[in-house]
Structures are given as structure tokens and as C-alpha cells.
Structure 1
Amino acid sequence: MRLLIVGGLCLGLAACATSDPIVDQGQPQAQRVQADQATIDAALQSVKSKLKNPDEAKFSGVYATEVPGSSGGPVVCGLVDIKTRHGYTGDLRFASSDNVTVIEDKKAGGRTALNNDVIRKLCSVAGS
């Protein structure tokens, strides 16, 4: 009986440990690249366009990446500190490209989790 319970637990853990199809947590997905200032400015403007107080946004740690094998241009990643009526949120990660801009959300589940996974995939580089 013990063997059956232990075997069942091992199978359950193995199923939970499978790789997420959106984000492979084991290896960085992107490589750092150089981006021109116009690309970076456009990305920061896109992030600001999603905010209620865009003029109060504070950016830091901005860099560009590309995902090997992708046909899109560079993705601009970094941190943004957003001002709310309660003060600043603290640094939130963001990713912005020609097609999409996503900002990290500290809530759990649903679309929030997907957005956070997208940021992780597009912005995780070796040595970060």
C-alpha cells in the first residue's frame, strides 16, 4: 500500500513539473541587443499610454532584447514606478514591442499571470 501511495505522489509531482508551453523557466528566452533611441522612446511612450498618470512614471533598468527565431523587432524591457493616488507602486516590470505592451501586475491568476509570463519570456536574459 505504501508503495502505491509513494508511486502516486511521484507521478503527481512529475505531472506538475512539466514545462509550461508559454515560458520555459529553466533557460533564458531572449538575448540582449542594441536598440536605437527612437525604438526605446516609442516603447516608453507606449507604456505611458497605458497609465492614468503618464507624466509621473519613473523608468529604470531599460534594455532591449530579441527572442531567437522570432520575426519581430526588438522588445524593450525595464522597470516602471507608477504613481497612484496612494503613492508610487514600486518597480513593475514591463515589455514593449511594435505589437504589444504589457506591464506587470502583482495580482494572481487569469490574464495577469499570462502577461507576467510574457514579460518573463521576452525579458529574461542570461546574467539577469
Structure 2
Amino acid sequence: MALFGALCVGLNALGFTNRSLRTQVSHLLGVPTTSYTVNQMSYDLARLRTKGLIRRRPGTNTYDLTAQGQRIAIFCIKVHDRLLAPLIVADQPPAPPDLQRALATIDRDVESYTNRARLGTAA
């Protein structure tokens, strides 16, 4: 999520480099830049490039998001902020009762499905 968040921050005409994106990702993860290494960032950039989410500018070390990359990065951030984050805290007291009931229903259905499929709990 931090990588997609950093890509959303990088939505500009200037593009981004390994160093600038690594700084953003580290900041969003809340860790020192040294914790997210250059090699990890290079690996992530290579994966993003092979998936067609970013492209490298010819003759430079600068990258740009593709149109598909922009759509996917924004979609993932929206899903996290609007769906996953509220569900994570849904069982805590400040959550609205209807959200707590919905989460309990989902839990019961998943439990029922795994019992019917004879899937045990993970070790």
C-alpha cells in the first residue's frame, strides 16, 4: 500500500527516480530510508515495469506512471481507505453498530463455508 501511495504522490510531469520513490515509500511506512533498501526498490520498480504500470524514460533513470498504473494505484488506495481500513477497526467500540453486525455476519458465513468445505484452521 505504501508503494501505491507513493506512486499516487508521484503523479506529476516530473516523474520519479529510485531514490525519490524509495524516500516516499519509507516515509509512508514510517521507517528510516535505510530500512527499505535500494535493492528492494529496484526489485519493485522492475515488477511495476514488467506489469506495465510504469515506464522508464529513454536515456534516463526517471520513471513515469502509465495510464493503467495511475488507475490501479488510485483504485488500491481508495479500496484501502474506504473499505479495508474501516473493516479492520469494525469490531472496536467506536464503530457503528450496523458495521459491527455486518462484520459478524461475514465472520459467520466464512466460518460456515469453511466447516462445510471441511477446511480446518491454518496451523
Which has the larger strand fraction?
Answer: 1
Q: Whose radius of gyration is greater, 1 or 2?
A: 2
Q: What TM-score results when the alignment is normalised by the length of structure 1?
A: 0.22
Q: What TM-score results when the alignment is normalised by the length of structure 2?
A: 0.23
Greater RCO between the two (CA within 8 Å, min separation 6)?
1
Which has the larger helix fraction?
Answer: 2
